[in-house]
Amino acid sequence: MNLRHVLRLLASAALLSIAASSVHAEGTFDIPAGAHFNKEKLARVEDYLRDQVAQGKIPGAALLIEQHGVPVYRGLIGVRDAVTKEPVTDDTIFRLFSLTKPITSVVAMQLIDEGKFALSDPVAKYIPSFADVKVGVEKKSEDGSRSLELVPPKRPVTIMDLMTQTSGIAYGFYGDSLVHKAYAAADIYRGDPDNAEFAERIAKLPLQNQPGALWQYGHSTDILGRIMEIVSGKSLLSIEREKLLDPLGMKDTTFYVTDPKKVPLIAKPMPNDSDFRVGFVGYADKPMRWESGGGGMVTTMHDMARFAQMVLGGGKFDGKQYLSPEAFKEMTTDHVGPGSGVERDYLYFPGDGFGFGLGFGVRTDPGNAKPPPPGSLGELKWDGASGCYMVVDRKQDLFFVLLEETPSQRQIIQPAVKKLIYEAMEN
């Protein structure tokens, strides 16, 4: 056993000790009349998260479950930083990564409600360089080598394509197609681009597929964010604050933490689990010009709960209508299911039983798993690379928000928490 391996084992043991000593706060159970939960079973959710902390899987987490407009459970578990041992608190700031997408998409629909642009508009109407975009088609020779042929798109990329993740715009940090490799080679995150420059970099790259043909996760919502800047004449953060964040009271939701006093509030993953594998190293406390509408926001439980409640309310919160009924229906309708002509990428992140609306996964059927995963048809959800996760079940008049920072454990913890929550519900 070499010295490096010994040091790694000692570091892991130290982290485990830190985590185990940090299971600090009791959750709050407040099951009101009409809320269908068994308190003893609900306690298992907290027990599970505490066990993940005790095992050193995660530093900590925040969980909120609300039904009928009343919190059923609030839990602040473990620490926000395994090094400083500072606990998870109400004002802890979490990086959302792709859970940013629903927020940006809601503001986009507000602008569509106002007639600023339309779902049918071509992207090139606002970003002219997209008029020259090509589709990358792989060709394989007899010797097995691959080459990329660039062909014209059969139709222009539209706003609808951006919002349904069917534009052909990819991410370059996963996948081994030649288009993915072209993204990686282009080094699109270099320097300090603003949203305008970032969109121009994307426009120079080939599309992974014909527009509207394939659900393919990528930088579509970042390009949408740039269009929102163009039609509003404001930065993405400014228009999101004006239309949604400030009116909804999401005071700590932003792209970068610029107040030095709030920097220590940023939640961090375990030191040995800090690679979010998103192609770039993003630091919430190091402001850049790029405001990623697809993956760059930070938030608190207070803020995310208000957003989830607005979604649960059909676009309405505290007496204010944020989305027209027509816009909300468009957002929460599956646009990639049977009959849409959209195929599914081998990494289809909405998952079994889910279609995709405009920024949300939409439950359309029980799925193929036996037994099927918990939840109701029509359920809305999304998550991000950090493990932050939002589920809105309008049939049960319920939402829950889980905030955590763990790239490696999120796909284990999210379904486990959801299963325990639904098992605690009494019919």
Burial of 413 (0-12, 13-18, 19+ CB in 10 A): buried
Half-sphere exposure of 215 toward its Cβ, with a 13 Å CA cutoff? 26
Question: Which residues make beta-bridge pairs with 381?
Answer: 361, 391
Chain mean position to CA 272: 23
- Token code pair at residue 111: 């602008």
The verdict on domain 22-101+251-423 having CATH code 3.40.710.10 is yes
Q: CA 49, CA 313: separation in Å to the nearest integer?
A: 28
For residue 174, the model assigns a pLDDT of 81
What are the helix and strand counts (H, E) for the chain? 12, 16
For residue 7, the model assigns a pLDDT of 36
For residue 14, the model assigns a pLDDT of 39
With a pLDDT cut of 90, the percent of the chain lying above it is 84
Tens digits of pLDDT across the chain (427 residues): 443 443 344 344 434 443 333 334 568 877 766 678 999 999 999 999 999 999 999 999 999 999 999 999 999 999 999 999 999 999 999 999 999 999 999 999 999 999 999 999 999 999 999 999 999 999 988 888 899 999 999 999 999 999 999 999 999 888 889 999 999 999 999 999 999 999 999 999 999 999 999 999 999 999 999 999 999 999 999 999 999 999 999 999 999 999 999 999 999 999 998 887 777 666 688 899 999 999 999 999 999 999 999 999 999 999 999 999 999 999 999 999 999 999 998 889 999 999 999 999 999 999 999 999 999 999 999 999 999 999 999 999 999 999 999 999 999 999 999 999 999 997 6
Burial of 256 (0-12, 13-18, 19+ CB in 10 A): middle
Q: CA 66, CA 70: separation in Å to the nearest integer?
A: 5
Q: CA 210, CA 233: separation in Å to the nearest integer?
A: 30
Instruction: Tokens 């579509």: give the residue.
Output: 220
Domain spans in the chain, listed from the N-terminal domain onward: 22-101+251-423, 117-232
Bridging pattern class, strands 28-29 and 146-151? unpaired
Quote the Cα angle for 122-123-124, to 5°. Answer: 90
For residue 12, the model assigns a pLDDT of 43
Q: CA 204, CA 130: separation in Å to the nearest integer?
A: 8
What are the tens digits of pLDDT across the range 293-338?
A: 999 999 999 999 999 999 999 999 999 999 999 999 999 999 999 9
Nearest to 177 by CA among 213, 143, 135: 135
As a whole number, the mean pLDDT across the chain is: 91
Q: Is 109 helix (H, G, I), strand (E, B) or coil?
A: helix
Q: Looking at 239-357, which runs of residues are DSSP E strands?
A: 298-299, 316-317, 320-321, 343-344, 354-356
For residue 8, the model assigns a pLDDT of 42
Residue 371 identity: P
For residue 281, the model assigns a pLDDT of 62
